[in-house]
Structure formats: C-alpha cells, structure tokens
Structure 1
Amino acid sequence: MNSRYLTPLTIMSLAWLSACTPTRVSNQVSIDSPAQWQHAANAQSAETADLKTWWQGFNDPLLNELIDKALAANHDLKIATARVREANAMVTGAEAALYPSLDFSLSGGREKRIDRIVGVPSGQGIKLITPTADAVSGGLAARWEIDLFGGRHLEAEAAAAQAEGSQEGLHAAQVGLLAQVATNYLELRGVQQRTGILQRNIELQRERLRTLQVFLKAGLANEADMVRQQTLLQSTEATLPVLTNAKQNLIHRLGVLLGEPPENLENRLAGVGPLPKATPTMPNLLPSDLLVQRPDLRLAQSEVSAAAASLGSARADLYPKLVVSASGGVGALAVGGFPSLAESVYALGSGLSAPIFNAGRIRAHIAAADARLDQVAANYELTFLLALEDVENAFVAHRSARDRFSQLTEAEGSAEKAYRLVDAMYQRGAGDYLVVLDAQRSKLAVSDERAKAETAVSVAMVSLYRAFGGGWTIHSGIDKASIR
C-alpha cells in the first residue's frame, strides 16, 4: 500500500482504538439495602417527585413565602451554584484535551547584526557590508495527542463526575435549607404559642397572690402560703425572658437563611401565630429509594465514579503516548540589496513516547488513586448506613412525638374537665377560689407541655422529609444494578 495513505489510516485506527479505553476501572459498589423499614409499617415505593414541595403540606402561606425567599436569596445556595458553574467549566477544559489544538502565529521584524557581514563587489574590489534583513512569517500549527489507552477520556469522565457531585452538593444544600427554614419557623410558632400560655399563667399566679393577700388580711391564710405563692410567681415570670430570647434567636436565624437582615422579619414574625394545623402526608419510600433521592448518597456515588476514572487515567500513564503535529504557512525574507524571497513552508510529524524509568512515580500515583477509590467506596457504604440511621431515627422521633402529643391532649382535656368541676362547685358556693385557681394553673401547665409536643410532631415530620432528601427534583436516575 502507498505510504501516503498508510499514515492517515494508521492514525485513524489508533484514534478508534482509543475509544475502547482499556484502562477503565469499574465504579460499581455493592449496597445491601433492607427490604423494609424497621419502624415504619407497609412502606412502598412511590414516585419521588411528590417530595419536591413537601412543605406545602403544612398549608401555611407564610411558610411558603419564607421558603420561596430562601430559595431565591440564600447565600449557601449561591455559593453552591457558583461551585457548579466552576465544575462545569473544568469539564469543558478536560474534554478539550481530547481534540486537536490549532494555533495561529504571525511574526515579523528587521534586524542588522555585526556577525552577518556580506562581501559586495564594487569598483574598488570587494566591499564588506552588514545588510538589513526584513523577515515576515505566519501560519497555522496543529497538535493532537491521540488517546491510545483512554487516559484523556478518563480524565474527562472524572471531571464530569466531579461536576455531577457539585450539582448534588447544590441539591444537598437545598434540602438542608428547606428543612432549616421549616424547622425554625415551626419552632418559632411553638415558642410564641407557649409564650401566650405562659403569660396567662403569670396573670393567674398574680391573681392567686392577690387573693392570698386578701385572705391574709381576713385571717383566712397564713404568711407562709403567701410567700410560697410569691416565689412561684417569680419563678414563672423568670421563664418569660428565656422564651423571648428563643423567639429572637429563631427570627435572627430565619433572617440569615433568607439572606436578609433580621430586622426585616421582625414585624412579620413577631406577632403570635398558631402552629399549622395541617401536616404533610408520611413519605412512602423504600430504603433502596434513598440511593436515588438523597443528594448526599448521589454525591458519594459521583465520588466513586470520579475516583474510578482517575485510577484508570493513572494506569494509562504506563503506556505509550502518540502525538501527531502539522504546521504550514508563508514566509518572506528581504535583505537589503538582494532580491526578496517568499515561499510557503510546512511540516508534518509524529512522535511516540513511553515511560522507561521514573523512580516509581507512576506506580505511586496509581497506588494513591487506588487507595482513593477504596476510600470513597467505603464512604459510599458508610453514607448509606448513616442515611438508614437518619430515616429510622426520624421515624422513631415522629412516632414518639405523636404518642406524647396524643397523651398530653388527653391530659389537657382531663385538666379542663377538672377545672370546670371545681369552678362549678365554687359558683354554687361549695368550693374554694384558690382551688379554682390551682386547677386553672394545672391546666395551663399541661397546655404548655401539649404545645411543646405539638411542635415536636411538626418538626419531626420535617426531619423525616429531610432524611428522605425531599425538596428537589430528580433529573437523572442512578443505575440500581449494584443494589441487592
């Protein structure tokens, strides 16, 4: 075969072989997933899209507004978004190495050098002169490193996996942000509700103190009873600054999450507001669904893919590298007193290099990349176990909070019934006013505990949705072939 055709065919064959990537490393990690949850009965797989706007299940317009503002202005999300852009740019840079590079050059100048002396005939013999030379050249130069063993392709895959990881980092930041906004808002409403109960309790304590003072003057009570009541009032009043501090801290935290100064929310949130009466429905997913839905698990999977690609790229350094280059252009040279010279020029070439001795540098790089792959694979398995723990704990916390709320609701009803009975007896003249006040105080104490339990139920539901990775949309799935 004519050598003129042999070289292009050889280069094309080598380029085709490079697509085989013989140094590729598997990125599959076997995950043992339980069939069902331990603390949630009858969980079935469901579409994950319903998790995207889980907070709307509280049916609270103000909460919806706060979350919309947080998604638009939160600084953690802005930082994560910038990281995604940075990672995508790195992918473009890595993929550019797969293609030939083409450069344009243009140069020109004039020079006169003493070491370039020319003899010129003259009437008096040979005359030595130093001529002025004008030179202009320009052209194109191309270079292409053919990826024989897939090293460049794997570098690009590693960069792409890292970019996917940065996207999952953004999703994780969004999941955490939504849970923080909802949790702080619900806790704020719970604190405000408890503050109202406490203020009614303080008024009741003051009324009881005034009654005891009247009874003391009438000789119907002793001074010890009055002092005990005064102590109880003061201790009850001392709880109010604690709740006020908690309320202010929650408002300040919401301000940071929404990306605005805390005083901007002061007027909107300072007023007493009830806890949302509606709650989202219970998430209905299987343990294996976490591998698709939770951003931290998707991030861990992308780290495995990036590490596997980096290991393959490191192994490719053991094999030869082939570089093809070509250049062409036009040059012109004019020397004073001589005819100008203009000519086209070109160069074609190829080079092959292979490592012979590097004091173990390449092998060390491969060993480090292999250790990195083991690390991220173990981290992926650990992250899945932590995710299972997170969900199971959230199930237990929600069930415990719900049971406690149910019991305290019944206790509150009993306390209300007791208050009505002693009040009815007092109205008929068969009871003591102090007993009525004590019954009312007991009811308020139970109401305070019930308010805390009600808040805990709502917050536990938020934790459950956060544990399931709710709050974002899945655009691409993860291959579940490695799930057993």
Structure 2
Amino acid sequence: MNNQYLTPLAILSMVSLIACTPTRVGDQVALNSPTTWQHAPNTQTTETVDLKTWWQGFNDPLLNELIDKALAANHDLKIATARIREANAMVTVAEAALYPSLDFSLSGGREKRIDRIVGVPDGQGIKLITPTADAVSGGLAARWEIDVFGGRHLEAEAAAAQAQGSQEGLHAAQVGLLAQVATNYLELRGVQQRTNILQNNIALQRERLRTLQAFLKAGLANEADIARQQTLLQGTAAALPTLINAEQNLIHRLGVLLGEQPESLGTRLAAAGPLPKQAPAMPKLLPPDLLAQRPDLRLAQTEVSAAAASLGSARADLYPKIVLSASGGVGALAVGGFPSLADSVYALGSGISAPIFNAGRIRAQITAADARLEQIAANYEKTFLLALEDVENAFVAHRSATDSLGKLTEAEASAEKAYRLVDALYQRGAGNYLAVLDAQRGKLAASDERAKAETAVGVAMVSLYRAFGGGWMANSANSAVDTAFMP
C-alpha cells in the first residue's frame, strides 16, 4: 500500500477509539434498602398527597404567601442558582477540550540594528548604511489532542455530574427553605396562642390576688395567703417576656428567610393568628422511593459519578497522548529601500507523548482519586442511612405529638367541665369565688399544654415532608418550586 495512505488510515483508526474509554470506572453503589417503615402509622388514607406543594395542605393563605415570597427572594436559593450557572460553564470548559482549537495571530514591527551595516552604491562610491527592516506576519494555528483513551471525555462527564449535583443542591436548599418557613410560622402561631393564654392567666392571678386582699380585710385570709398568691403571680408573669422574645425572634427569622430586613414582617405577623386547623395528609412513600425523591441523596449520587469519572481520567494519564497540529499564514519583510519580500508558509504535524518516568506522580494521583471515590461512596451510603433515620424519627415525633395532643385535649375538656361545675356552684351560692378562679386557672394551664402539643403536631408533619424531600418532584421537568424561582 502506498505510504501516503498509511498516516490517514492510522489516524482514522485512532479516532475510532475515541468512543472507547478503557479507563472508565463504575459509579454504582449497592444500597441495602428496607422495604417498609418501622414506625409508619398503620392507618391508610386514600388521599393523594402532592409532595411538591405539600404546605398548601395546611390551608393557610398567609403561609402560602410567605413561602411564595421566600422562593422568589431567599438568598440561599440565589447562591445555589449562581452555583448552577458556574457549574454549567465549567461543563463547557471541560467539553471544549474534546474539540480542535484554532488560534489567529498577527504580528509586525520595525527594527534598526547597528550590527547590520550594508553598503549601497552612490555617486561617489559605496555608502555604508544601517537599514530599517519592517516585518509583518499573520496566520492560523490549529491543534487537536485525540482523546483515544477517554481521559478528556471522562473529565467532561465529571464536570457534567458536578453540574447535575449543583442542580440537586438547589433542590435541597428549596426543601430546607420550605421546611424552615413552615416550621417557624407554625411555631410563631403557637407562641402567639400561648402568649394570649398566659396573659389571661396573669389577669386571672391578679384577680385572685385582689380577692385575697379583700378577704384579708374581712378576716377570711391571712398574710401567708397573700404572699403565696403574689409569688404565683410573679412567677406566672415572668414567663411572658420569654414568649415575647421567642415571638420576635421567629418574626425576624422569617424576615431573613424571605430575603427581607429582619423587622420587615413585624407589623404583618405581630397580630396573633390561629394555628392552622388543617394539616397535609400523611405522605405515602417507601424507603426505596427516597433515592429518587430526596435531593441530598441525588446529590450524593452525582458526587459518586463525578468521582468515578475523575478516577478514570486519572488512569488515562498512564496512556499515550496523540496530538495533531496545523498552521499556515503569510509574512512580509521590507528592508530599507529594497523591494518587499512576501511569502506564505504552512506546517502540518503530529506528535505522540507517553509517560516514562515521573517519580510515581501519576500512580499517586490515581491512588488519591481512588481513595476519594471510596470516601464519596461511603458518604453516599451514610447519607442514605441518615435519610432513613430522618424519616423514622419524623414518624416517631409525629405519633408522639399526636398522642400527646389527644390526651391534652381530653385534659382541657375535663378542666373546662370542672370550671363550669365550680362556677355553677358559686352562682347558686354553694361555692366560693377562689375555687372558681382556681378552676379557671387549671383550664388555662391545660389550654397552654394543648397549644404546645398542637404546635408540635404541625411541626412534626413539616419534618416528615422535609424528610421525604417534599418541595419538588423528581418526575417533573419543572416543579412548582422550580417554576417559581428558576430564571
């Protein structure tokens, strides 16, 4: 065969190997997933739960408004979105190495050197001069590293996996943001409700103190009774600043989550409102579903893929690299008064380089990349275990809070009944006023405990949806959250 065809055929043979990546490393991590939840409630509901807009199940328009504002202005989401742009740009950078590069150059200059003296004839003989030289050159240069062993492709895959991970990071930030806004809002409403109950209790304690002071004047009470009641009143009133402080802190936190000044929501949220009486239905997901639904698990998987691709890229450094190059251009040179010389030039070339001795650098890089992959794979397994723990704990917290709420609701009803009976006796003249006040105080104490338990039930439901990765949907290209925020 003619030698002129050997080189092109050899090049085509090498190019055909580009799609082959003998250094590729598997990125699958086997996870031992249970099939059912240990602490999930036995009661089954036929209601369909929309995980991507779960907070709407509380049927609270103000909560919906706060979440919409947070999705539009939260700074953590803005940071996560900027990271996506950065990661996508780095994908372009990595993929650019797969293609030839073409550069244009243009240069020119004038020089005059005293070591270049020439003689030119004139009317009186030979005249020595130092000529001035003008030179201009320009052209194009192309270079292409043929990715025979897939190192560049794997670098691009690693960058693409990291870009996908940044998208999952945004989803994780969204899930966390929704849970924080809902939790702080429910706790705020619970604190406001408890503050109202406490203020009624303080007013009741003051009424009881005035009654005892009247009884003291009538000889029906003593100084010890007055002192005990004053102690009880001051102790009850001391709890009020703590609740007010908690209320203000929650309002400030919501302001920051919404991307506003901490005090911007003070007027809007200072007016006490009731706790939502309605809650979302219990989500029905199995443990394996977490792998597709929880953004942190999807992020951990992309990190495994990126680490595996990086390991393959490091292994590719053991193999030769083949480079094709070509350049062409024109140049012109004019010296003194002599005619200008111009010509075109070109060059074609190819090269191959292979590592022979590098003091173990490449092997060490491969070992380090392999160790990173092992770490990230272990972290993926750990993240899955933490996700299972998160869900189980949320189930336990919700069941515990629900049981407590049931018992405390019964206790509040009993305290209400006792108050009505004691008040009826007093109205008929068969009881005393202090007994009525004591019964009323017992009812308020039961109401305060019920309010705390009711808040805990709502917060536990929020934690459950957060544990399930609620706030976006893996099977939809654009969830309601993404549509509300993504540029």
CA distance in 2, matches of 1:185, 1:81: 25
* TM-superposed deviation, 1:120: 4.1
- 3-state SS in 2 of match to 1:17: coil
Q: Which moved more, 1:244-253 or 1:106-115?
A: 106-115
| Residue deviations 1:248-271 (CA, integer Å, cap 9, x gap) | 111111111111112210100001
1:431 maps to what in 2? 431
* TM-superposed deviation, 1:16: 2.1
1:466 maps to what in 2? 466
Matches within 5 A, 1:60-459: 60-120=60-120, 127-459=127-459
CA distance in 1, matches of 2:17, 2:41: 53
CA distance in 1, matches of 2:283, 2:227: 53
- 3-state SS in 2 of match to 1:410: helix
* TM-superposed deviation, 1:381: 0.2
Q: Which amino acid aligns with 1:431?
A: G
| Residue deviations 1:193-228 (CA, integer Å, cap 9, x gap) | 001111111111111111111111111222211211
CA distance in 2, matches of 1:121, 1:320: 60
Asked whether the equivalents of residues 189 and 275 of structure 1 are also in contact (C-alpha less than 8 Å), the reply is yes
CA distance in 2, matches of 1:10, 1:42: 68
Asked whether the equivalents of residues 332 and 342 of structure 2 are also in contact (C-alpha less than 8 Å), the reply is yes
1:54 maps to what in 2? 54
- 3-state SS in 2 of match to 1:52: helix
- 3-state SS in 2 of match to 1:313: helix
1:482 maps to what in 2? none
Gaps of 5+ in 1: 478-484
CA distance in 2, matches of 1:87, 1:406: 50
* TM-superposed deviation, 1:89: 0.9
CA distance in 1, matches of 2:230, 2:64: 44
1:25 maps to what in 2? 25
Asked whether the equivalents of residues 49 and 283 of structure 2 are also in contact (C-alpha less than 8 Å), the reply is no
* TM-superposed deviation, 1:126: 5.4
Task: State the TM-score, normalized to the length of structure 1.
Answer: 0.95
Asked whether the equivalents of residues 34 and 287 of structure 1 are also in contact (C-alpha less than 8 Å), the reply is yes
CA distance in 1, matches of 2:466, 2:314: 38
Asked whether the equivalents of residues 151 and 317 of structure 2 are also in contact (C-alpha less than 8 Å), the reply is yes
* TM-superposed deviation, 1:354: 0.3
| Residue deviations 1:317-355 (CA, integer Å, cap 9, x gap) | 000000100001111222224332222111000110000
Q: Which amino acid aligns with 1:23?
A: T
CA distance in 1, matches of 2:55, 2:284: 16
- 3-state SS in 1 of match to 2:265: helix
Percent identity of the aligned residues?
Answer: 84
Asked whether the equivalents of residues 154 and 310 of structure 2 are also in contact (C-alpha less than 8 Å), the reply is yes
Q: Which amino acid aligns with 1:214?
A: A
Gaps of 5+ in 2: 478-487
Task: State the TM-score, normalized to the length of structure 2.
Answer: 0.94
Asked whether the equivalents of residues 303 and 376 of structure 2 are also in contact (C-alpha less than 8 Å), the reply is yes
Q: Which amino acid aligns with 2:316?
A: A
Asked whether the equivalents of residues 23 and 312 of structure 1 are also in contact (C-alpha less than 8 Å), the reply is yes
- 3-state SS in 1 of match to 2:339: coil
Asked whether the equivalents of residues 37 and 43 of structure 1 are also in contact (C-alpha less than 8 Å), the reply is no
Q: Which moved more, 1:393-402 or 1:121-130?
A: 121-130
Asked whether the equivalents of residues 120 and 127 of structure 2 are also in contact (C-alpha less than 8 Å), the reply is yes
1:34 maps to what in 2? 34
Asked whether the equivalents of residues 43 and 285 of structure 1 are also in contact (C-alpha less than 8 Å), the reply is no
- 3-state SS in 2 of match to 1:263: coil
CA distance in 2, matches of 1:48, 1:173: 25
- 3-state SS in 2 of match to 1:21: coil
Q: How many residues align structurally? A: 476
| Residue deviations 1:182-201 (CA, integer Å, cap 9, x gap) | 10110000000001111111
Asked whether the equivalents of residues 121 and 127 of structure 1 are also in contact (C-alpha less than 8 Å), the reply is yes
CA distance in 2, matches of 1:14, 1:299: 36
CA distance in 2, matches of 1:49, 1:211: 54
2:485 maps to what in 1? none
1:480 maps to what in 2? none
2:484 maps to what in 1? none
* TM-superposed deviation, 1:88: 1.0
CA distance in 2, matches of 1:318, 1:43: 60
Quick one: structure 1 residues 264 and 331, their matched pair in 2 at CA, closer, same or farther if it must change by over 3 Å?
same
CA distance in 2, matches of 1:85, 1:96: 17
Q: Which amino acid aligns with 1:261?
A: Q
Quick one: structure 1 residues 89 and 42, their matched pair in 2 at CA, closer, same or farther if it must change by over 3 Å?
farther
2:483 maps to what in 1? none
| Residue deviations 1:81-114 (CA, integer Å, cap 9, x gap) | 1111111111111111111000001111222223
Q: Which amino acid aligns with 2:110?
A: R
* TM-superposed deviation, 1:300: 0.8
| Residue deviations 1:400-437 (CA, integer Å, cap 9, x gap) | 00000011001111111111111111111111211111
Asked whether the equivalents of residues 49 and 280 of structure 2 are also in contact (C-alpha less than 8 Å), the reply is no
CA distance in 2, matches of 1:47, 1:341: 87
